[in-house]
Amino acid sequence: MIEVKNLFLQLGEFNIKDLSLSINTGEYFVLLGPTGSGKTVLLESIAGLKSIQAGSIYINKEEVTGKKPEDRNISICYQDLALFPHMRVKDNIKYGLRFRRDTNTLKYEKNFEILIELLRINHILDRYPVFLSGGEKQRVALARALIVDPDILLLDEPLTALDSGMKATIEEELKNIHETLKITILMVTHDFKEAYYLADRVGIIKDGSIMQIGPIEEVFEKPTSICTADFVGMKNLLKIDELKKKPVFEVLLKQIENSAEFIGIRPENIVISNKIIDDCCSIFGRISHIRNNGIYREIDISSHGVEFKAYLTANSYNDLQLFKGKEVFFGIDISRVAII
């Protein structure tokens, strides 16, 4: 497991401040955040590649704060992969073994055989990196990181440079690695799709601070702050004081705590209909704008001076025969409204 306690680290004008994080043994944890939020800095702090000014780091309940990177039994895999161009694939994979104090050759040879089969790279072992595809390079980098039998695997946006088809393949292989080797993985990314597919739990980081941690459905459906809600794509963030002025929205506010300032509604959780919707809170409105985003349609609805945003599949959009200015009903499941 990984425990980070009250971490403080300053780099120029940026700092990680009083950050604490706990990741369970064998968990696939994904840290999400925008560019410059501190994701990579946190990874490098855990790996021992960045010196921290305060706080402590534990791996499997042993404090490693003052230990050198090579003494933490952690592997890190960056998005640029950093393969040695003058070495064949098999030599790239085995490179890290020269720094191991444990010289159990049979153990590492077994690891090598398991990994080349698991990652399906037996046929490229004698190639140089220049002759590899992006997906092959990623597999080799993963094999190199895993051959040393680390307690923790740190992944820094490992899928960023891959096309969508190859990304799906490597995602599947990462999932297979995690399930087969039972290794603890901490991966940072800004891609929600990767997190949804891979993560047991997620954390949201911004400006060097952890904003929220939990199962991905909870974090995306029930964000606890405006910052998190905005980052995870909760497009409808509505001020409660403004809604209270409009009686039509009373049904949305029935279970709101007195301390709450906003309600949040994901656009995909809004249902549009040409007639009153019986099974949820049904509100009357008018289509104010339609955007075609290829896979889905983004629909803006104006209702009593408040703007709502909904997402529809192309089929649903066509079935409803929507157009700008059309009057519609839209439904909201109260149980899926976030209170912030």
Local confidence pLDDT in tens for the 340 residues of the chain:
899 999 999 888 888 989 999 999 999 999 999 888 999 999 999 999 998 999 999 999 999 998 999 889 999 988 777 889 999 999 999 887 877 766 667 888 888 899 988 888 999 999 999 998 888 888 899 999 998 889 999 999 888 877 888 888 888 889 989 999 899 999 999 889 999 999 999 999 999 999 999 999 999 999 999 999 999 989 999 999 888 888 888 877 876 777 789 999 999 999 999 998 877 788 899 999 999 988 899 999 999 999 999 999 999 999 999 999 999 999 888 888 899 8
Q: Is residue 229 one of the residues assigned to a domain?
A: no
List, in order, residues 6 or more apart from 14 with CB less than 8 Å away.
Answer: 36, 38, 41, 208
Whether residues 8 and 33 fall in one domain: yes
Q: Which of 221, 251, 275 is at the close of a domain? A: 221
Residue reference for tokens 């809604």: 243
Whether residues 86 and 171 fall in one domain: yes
Whether residues 191 and 271 fall in one domain: no
Whether residues 144 and 79 fall in one domain: yes
Q: Is residue 230 one of the residues assigned to a domain?
A: no
Domain residues for the domain of 324 are 236-339
What's the whole-model pTM score?
0.88
Q: Is residue 29 one of the residues assigned to a domain?
A: yes
Whether residues 18 and 136 fall in one domain: yes
Whether residues 37 and 182 fall in one domain: yes
Give the type of residue at 42: L
Domains in the chain, number: 2
Q: Which of 221, 250, 275 is at the close of a domain? A: 221
- Asked whether the beta carbons of 210 and 20 are under 8 A apart, the reply is yes
3-state secondary structure of 225: coil
Whether residues 47 and 188 fall in one domain: yes
Q: Is residue 164 one of the residues assigned to a domain?
A: yes
Greatest CA separation for the chain: 74
